[in-house]
Each structure stands twice: as C-alpha cells, then as structure tokens.
Amino acid sequence: MGEIRRRTLLAALGGTAGTAAASGMTAGRAAAAPAPAAEGAVPAARSPYESRIRALLGRMTTEEKLGQLQQLTWTNDTGPGEGQNARATELARTGRLGSVLNVFGVKNTNALQKIAVEESRLGIPLVFGLDVIHGYWTTFPIPLAQAAAFDPKVSVSDAEVSAGEARSNGVHWTFAPMMDVARDPRWGRIAEGAGEDPYLTAVLAAAKTRGYQGRSKDADLKAKDRLAACAKHFVAYGGAEGGRDYNTVDVSESRLRNLYLPPFKASVDAGAATVMASFNALNGVPQHGNSHTLTGILKREWGFDGVVVTDYNGVQEMLLHGFAADPAEAGAKGLSAGLDMEMVSTALADHGADLLAEGRIDARRLDDAVARVLRLKFRLGLFDEPYADVDGEVTKPSAKARKAAREAAARSMVLLRNESGVLPLAASAGSVAVVGPFADSEDLLGTWVGPGGAKGPDGVKFPPVTVVDGIRAATGAKVTYEKGVAAEGSDTGGLAKAVAAAKAADVTVVVVGEPAALSGEAASRSEIGLPGAQERLIAAVAETGKPFAVVLVCGRPLTIGGWLEDAPAVLLAWHPGIEAGHAIADVLFGEVNPGGKLPVSFPRSVGQIPVHYNHESTGRPYDPDEPNEKYVSKYLDLPPGPQFPFGHGLSYTTFEVGAPRPAVRTIAASALRAGRSVEVAVEVRNTGKRAGDEVVQLYVRDLVASVVQPVRSLRGFERVTLKQGESKTVRFELGAEELGFWTNDTRGEFVVEPGEMELYAGNSSTAKAMARLTIT
C-alpha cells in the first residue's frame, strides 16, 4: 500500500478519537447497535477497533457494505474470462468484495490484495480463506487419527505448523477445525472430526483453535504464523440421517445441547474468530436460516462477536430445501438469522439493496454483519499490513515440520489386536515381505489434503513416505514388495506373487484399507468393509502359516469381523500423512510403543449402526449375565456391543488402572453450581516389561435423572508415559459442567440434579473399576 494512501485510510478509521466524518457518498446510514434478534439482543462487541469500525461504516455505501459480506472462490481456470476470478478481481477493484477463498501463494494473494487496497475507494483489504484441514505443505494425519492420540498437543502441533506455512503463503483464515460429533461411520466426513464423543471433541477443538490462533485472539492473529480458525459445521451436521452427507437432522433440544453443541462452545471460549453454518436442516429449519442456533445460542447466549460464514453455496441451497422461494428470500432469511458472510452464492450482494429498501432486512443487522467482518480484518492486522512477506514465504515442508508430522502419526496409531506377540517385529528378522494395495500408495495422505497433497501433472507435490520405503529405512532385513490385489475392484492378478513373497519371508506386513477418495465430503458408504478383493489377500497370507501383521489405513471405522480372526496382529494407522511410512515403521519395529485409543467405536456390521458407547439407557437393557434373555435391546444375529469399543487400544506393555478415588463422597448440587468441584484420583501402573503410554479415562453415569442419561459419559482423560514398573496418580476435576446436563426445555436449561453417580476409571469405555458419588 502506498504510504500516503495508508495514512489517509488510517486517519479515516479513527486516528482522531474515532469520530466518523460525514460523507456525501454514503448511501447507507452509520453503524448503530445491532438490531434485537428474535432470540434477544446480541451483546455489543468490545474490542480495541470499535471506534475505527464505526468510522469506516459511516463512510460506506450500501453496496460496499453488502460487498464486505461476499466471499467468492478463486479458480485455476485460465480460459476466457478466467471463470470466477474475473468477477472477484472486478469486485475487489470496486470495493464490493470482502473475502476470497482458494487463492494462495504470495504472488497471487498480494496481486489481488493490491487491487482491493490500492484501487478501491476505501481501500479495505480482503481476507483470504482456505481449507487447511490437516496440513498445508506438511500433511499431518487426518483429524480422526489425531483424535486417536487422546493428546491435545498433537492437535496443537498440526495447527501451529499448518498456520505457519499457510500464513506465509498469504492465507489468513482456515475453515477448520471441524467439530461435528459423528456416530455413524458411513458418513464420510467422520474423517475430518474427532469421533463420537462430545467431551473428547471439545477438548481437541479448543486445542486446535488455540494452535491456529494462539491464546489471544487480538494480539496473536496478527502474527505471521497464525490463522483465524473456523468452528464448523454449526450445528449437528454429524447427525445426518443414514450417514448420507448433507442429509436431515432431527434432534431434541436436550440432545442438541448435550451432544452437538459442547465442542462449539469450547472453541468459542478458546477464542475462535469465525463459525461456519452447516448444510443440514435441523428440526426442519436449514441451518443457514436458523435464528435459534445462529443468533439465539451462538451470538446471544455465548456472546460470540466473530464472523458467521456460510458453507459453500449454502444460502442458495435454501431454495432446494424448500425454505425460500427465491434467492432474495434466501438472502433475507440468512442475514436475519445471523449469517455474516456469504460464501460463493451471491443472494445478498445481488438483492441486498432492494431487500433493505423494502424493509425485508434490517439496517442495524446489516451494519452488525459488516462490523464483524471488519473486526476480523482488524484482528488479523490486515489494515496495517495487508500484504504477505515475499521473502518469508514457506515453499516446502521443513525438516522440523516433517518430524512433527511423523511424531503425530505414530502417536495416533491404535494397536487393535496383537496375539502371540507378533508385534513389535523382531530386529533379527532376515526378510520382510510387504504386500497390499496401500504399501506403495499416495492414499496415505487421506482426504482434504492441502496444497502439499494436491496432484498436478507430475503427481502429488509432496507425496507421503510409503510403507515399503519406511520399512526399508527402518531395518537391515531384505524387504520385498508385491501389491497382490487392487485397492478396489476384482483384480487379483498379483495374488500369487504376494503369497509367494509371504512364504519366502520371515514375516509379512499386509497393508490394506480404503482409498482416500472413499472418505471425506460427499463420500458416504453404505458398506464399510474392505473394498475389492483385499480380504482375499489377508486370507491367502494367513493360509501360508507364516507370521504376519495387518496395517489398516482408512478414514473411518471399518467392519473387519470377516477377517479379524485370521490376523494375529492389527495396527490401525488411519491415513497418517506425509511421514506415513516412517511412522508406521516406527510402531511396527517398536521404536514407538503404540498408545493411541479409538475415538469412535468399530461396528461388527453396518446393520448394527449406530453403536456408540454413550447410548442412553433403555427399559430393557441387555444383561451380559443373561445372554439368552429374549426381550431385551439386542440383535439376534450379533453379539452385543461393537467389535472394538470407544477408548480401546493395546500396547507392547501392560498397565493396571486402579479404581477412581473421589476426594469427597458427597457434595451439594448448590456447591457445584457455585463453582466447586470434586477431585478424583486414579492410579495407573506399568506392569509390563517396557516403557509405554496409557490413556487413563474417567467416565460418569447419572443413575436417575429427569432426562434419561447415557450409560456412560467420558468426563476426563490423560495420556501418561510410564517406565517399566513405574506408577502415577492422575487427577481429574468434576464440576457442574461434568455432572450436570441440559434438559428438554424449549430453549434449554442446564441443571445439576441431586442423585447417585457412578464413576468408572480404566483404559476404555468398558472400564470396570467404579466408585460412587452422591449429589445432595
């Protein structure tokens, strides 16, 4: 930005006590207090920039205000008109564009920013957004894998590395973290979240928000290694019927607040700068037009003063929902409900002036939305430094970033099964056969990769270390590789060679799973077993009688009951990212002792879904001591419970987790509501022969309540590293938030009720060690 122009703009933004000068060019009126919404007044924002925001609002025309609410997408189209790029460029030049997504790289972002800052009337900078989900250049494990680490530091590590790389490339805003609690593994986007538990998801959502933004949303967002986070998708998107993406959700107010909202509240409390509305309709109202959630809960109850952005084309899609008759009505409903920025579709930009003149949208609500967008730009420091540093651009993964990704991947892996001590692989093995369609595959990066995982004419820019290469680097043994079968389809032409390799080797590693394209957005599956002929490969290797281990790579829980008994050892590696092969080898050879746990239950079959651990009590529960009882909640053709429960994960050593010890056995509900808590101590001891990690987990069951409660709810966890014979006492705090719940009141009421609580401690959701706590 030219220095004279920069000083002029800063002066106009309140350099002298923030007084807005009258402007003959201003068509809309100056900013006022936000209009009271149907759910109640939105709290006034408090930030250092409010006087400057008011000054700028006072100079803006209606068209310029509406432009700040518009986000367009950049494309790589180089044909006539450059697709949407030409429109974005022209709107930036005329000051009628607030944001652009999918543009990155210093050259590209600075060029577009220069047009907005130096050619438009007011010189308001653009904010550039990008889906940085689990890495920019350096691809970390998918978020579901990160959740399996049960370690917030893994989420922070990903976010910090990603933020540094992306911000240096001109990106200001990531559309992450995703915190949709998901109980249906058929839903492809389960890969992007933290699984089935609201407590675990909330802890990791807050951690990743802080990782992207830092701890102070005003100071740290200006840093050149930080991004504005986006809590998405608000709300209940993970509850889509049938696991079909974009589908309807219908839940009670109690379930909404107890299950789906806690991760969003945690992210907002951690300072999330933005929130994204979800595609689904909730109880008959599309989320892009839902004033109860967007304004009533998010803005009024929680005091959120950031930007609510739509999802891609979400406003326009209210027409297909049958909730709006035309784009103008959709725009009016969206803005009135609490949306602040429209992604890709242009209902507000096209019709906002007429809607305002007709009284169908409120001028104060419009100014409030614009103020939120401007506030984000101030927090990011864009008015002072709109351009990315040409000399500071990161163009590839650093050695430090790769090390962090490798550690995160190994820490996220879950040892599902290990009979006869097949793992870790013996260092004395003279030969290792590596077979399977994912042993030498780029699918190890997973879904929703950033620019580093994008495919170009020469292949993936920064491909993953393959399992074959990782094993070769980890051992001096002779390593042979055969694909065996295709990842999908019926091609088994290489099966005989794979079997021959297994017979000739001391041990075999079979790498199977699902391609990255079968998980993520618009990737729901009605069957979630291994695709193609992969089960035949496992069976054929098992028939050799030679020792082998299965490495399972996937973006969701799979149904593996058909081959599980054939495999003496199964290591769940998920889609582990750029350092996949090295991290897998680290665990296979025991350099890293696996300590991950399942953040989501593995079903025995698709027909069993949903099979989450935190289901509610029924009047006829299954009793394992009475397996032949007919009139109970069970399937006739399946054992009760999942194949592997939430929280499950083995180690190369063994642990003993003691019973929970609450500091007091009785506490008053009034004391809990006043802020008191109960400390619960749990001792864990390494009883094996090597150092390792255990995740101590604390669960609560409310035995009698005014609203039926889950049979168990995770209320604390801590991952600890212990040497052979070492023990540690882990301490948890249970307060009102952990011991209370939301009722089914029309607008929600949080209560802490007197009654008996059971506290369970252990290393999975099936923990047996129990103590009682009485709330009076």
- Residues with catalytic roles: 311
The answer to whether 422 touches 175, Cβ cutoff 8 Å, is no
Q: Is residue 332 a contact partner of residue 355, using CB atoms and an 8 Å limit?
A: yes
Q: Which residues contact 192 (CB under 8 A, 6 or more apart)?
A: 133, 142, 143, 144, 178, 180, 447, 448, 520, 521
- In this structure, are residues 312 and 322 in contact, taking their beta carbons and an 8 Å threshold? no
Residue type, 413: M
Q: CA 303, CA 45: separation in Å to the nearest integer?
A: 8
Q: Which helix (H) or strand (E) holds 686?
A: strand 678-686
- Other C-beta atoms lying within 10 Å of the C-beta of residue 248: 16
Residues 6 or more apart from 486 whose CB is under 8 A from it? 437, 532, 533
3-class secondary-structure state, position 452: helix
How do beta strands 414-418 and 569-572 pair? Answer: antiparallel
HEC string of 179-202 equals CCCCCCCCCHHHHHCCCCCHHHHH
Q: How far apart are CA 434 and CA 712, in angstroms?
A: 41
Cα dihedral sign for 387, 390, 392, 395?
positive
Tokens 């950031």 locate to: 306
| 608 vs 641: CA distance, rounded Å | 9
Can you tell me the distance from the alpha carbon of 381 to that of 376, in angstroms, rounded to the nearest whole number? 9
Sign of CA dihedral 136, 140, 141, 146: negative
Q: Nearest to residue 335, comparing CAs of 273, 289, 274, 276?
A: 289
**Assigned token pair, 549:** 């281990």
Separation CA 416–CA 648 (nearest Å): 7
Which residues does residue 178 pair with via DSSP β-bridges, in sequence order?
A: 232
Pairing of strands 666-667, 769-775: parallel
Give the phi and the psi of residue 523 in degrees, each rounded to 5: -135, 50
